[in-house]
Amino acid sequence: MRRQRKVKILATLGPASSSREMIAHLFRAGADLFRINMSHTSHDRMREMVGLIRDVEKECGRPIGILLDLQGPKLRIGEFAGGAVQLVNGTSFTLDSDPAPGDASRVYLPHPEILSALRPGHTLLLDDGKVRLKTTEATGDRAVTEVVVGGKMSNRKGVSLPDTEIAVSAMTPKDHADLEAGLGAGVDIVALSFVQRPEDILEAREIIQGRALVMSKIEKPQAILRLDEIFEASDALMVARGDLGVELPLEKVPGLQKRIVRGARKLGKPVVVATQMLESMITSPVPTRAEVSDVATAVYEGADAVMLSAESAAGEFPREAVATMNRIAEEVERDALHRTIINAQRSEPEQTGADAIAAAARTISETLDLSALIAWTASGSTGIRIARERAEKPLLALTPNVGTARRLALVWGVHAVLTDDARDINDMVDRACRHASQDGFAQTGQRVLIMAGIPFGTPGATNMVRIAVIGADGGEGP
């Protein structure tokens, strides 16, 4: 099942899409990997969904990636005596450590870490930013605020703190349990919520121990301040535009999206653009024109993947949403302007042998008009390095590791194939040609470029480039 596009589609599973039949429909419609949101999923249900995805994978004969999205800390206020109050602009409102039910003048904030971190001038956003407070006094056990934007406030609404770095881990006890369960079930990528600092990522890495890729969701203003460090510590990034748009002015989000996508591309880290991409398709079989442009912008920017959230998880038209995203991506990538933009944003290769070979392979493939690039890769690093080059030619990644093949489902332009490791150079070249022929990437008489590391089976040792001709039997020709 060869895709006719290079950007990948990540679809969230949920009530509308968690049957085996619907997962198969979504994969055939264009989904390359699936997201399981642990904010709404029990361990038993998560394991069941993983099993269903693996069944579809076996049926379709293609590796499918699974992303486990951890919930992260949920910061909420307490309850009100009457269930809700009306906060009025310009009035004083206190958040404190008293668990008694609140009223129009105060409410319990069951997070001492927030009260101790707040300072005068800091902003608090309640209920996804619908109510805005400004701290005027902070004493460690209470914060007096002024209501800047008022409104109705009810029990247990969420709290966001765009100005405050909170001394709390990105992983709660629930996240630890969810992570262990997900790793035990064999997920391929773990997305961390509430990342503020690189230390949050290192904490997760100690648990994961290489069993899955670590993806940092960029959704906090504090993460923006340390973006370069977070890039370095992460295997992959997600532009989580929903929460970014709550804690930052909405007009700043598009620029941050471009900055994150380009920064990730420069480092060769896969990057996903997420949230509200085809939001109207939750209830409509067709998207708005603005949503089509939004998806197209992410594709033009060279993002590795675009994500569907509620559209595929709980919407009325999950299959149509995936198919629509697939058509948009295909059309954008056929546009000559797409290649112009992709080439203009290409970074210079890192000063390593593997990166130099990846850059040279792209240049050779385009200069000689070869049919495909083929990389033998054990860990996936060679495939990711070549994807960083955003080559015009198709890229096949041949790997003996099923986990590597599934992780590469996230990476731009990579068509991963699970196969036995090469026995010798002749076998390496011949089987590379056969896979390119069988999967429709090259025909008899056409040339392909093959990359590998010698000795075989040594991760990160890409040091060889070979040009081969497809023979009449599909193997290497004369």
**CA atoms of 11 and 7, how far apart (whole Å):** 13
CATH classification of 84-160 is 2.40.33.10, yes or no? yes
Backbone angle region of 408, left / alpha / beta, with phi > 0 → left and psi within -120 to 50 → alpha: alpha
Tell me if 8-72+170-337 shares its fold with 84-160. no
Query: CA distances (Å), 165 to each of 46, 168, 295, in order?
Result: 32, 9, 32
The total of other beta-carbon atoms located within 10 Å of residue 422's CB is: 21
Q: Which of 353, 350, 376 lies closest to 453 in space, CA to CA?
A: 376
Residue ranges for the chain with pLDDT beneath 50? none
Q: Which residues are catalytic?
A: 35, 76, 217, 275
Q: Please give the Cα distance from 230 to 3 (Å, whole number).
A: 31
What does the alpha-carbon distance between residue 444 and residue 464 come to, in Å, rounded to a whole number?
A: 23
Q: What is the pLDDT of residue 437?
A: 96
Residue 478's pLDDT is: 82
Residue whose tokens read 């060279």: 302
> In the beta sheet, which residues pair with residue 10?
33, 307
Rounded-to-integer distance, Cα 274 and Cα 306, Å: 6
Cβ burial 123-161 (10 Å sphere, 16+ → b, else e): bbbbbebebbbebeebeeebbbbebeebeebeeebebbb
For the stretch 168-198, pLDDT in tens is 888 999 999 999 999 999 999 999 999 999 9
Single pTM value for the model: 0.94
Domain ranges of the chain: 8-72+170-337, 84-160, 353-469
**Domain 353-469, CATH among 3.60.20.10, 3.40.120.10, 3.40.50.700, 3.40.1380.20:** 3.40.1380.20
Helices (H) and strands (E) in the chain, counts: 17, 21
Geometric angle at alpha carbon 131, from 125 and 135, rounded to 5°: 55
- CA pair distance 76, 346, nearest whole angstrom: 43
CATH topology of domain 8-72+170-337: TIM Barrel (3.20.20)
DSSP code, position 295: H
Query: CB under 8 Å to 170, separation ≥6 — which residues?
Result: 72, 73, 192, 193, 194, 195, 196, 200, 201, 203, 204
- Kindly report whether the peptide bond that precedes residue 162 is cis, defined as omega within 30 degrees of 0: no
The answer to whether 379 and 404 have CB atoms below 8 angstroms apart is: yes
Q: pLDDT value at position 320?
A: 98
Instruction: Retrieve residue 22's tokens.
Output: 């619907």
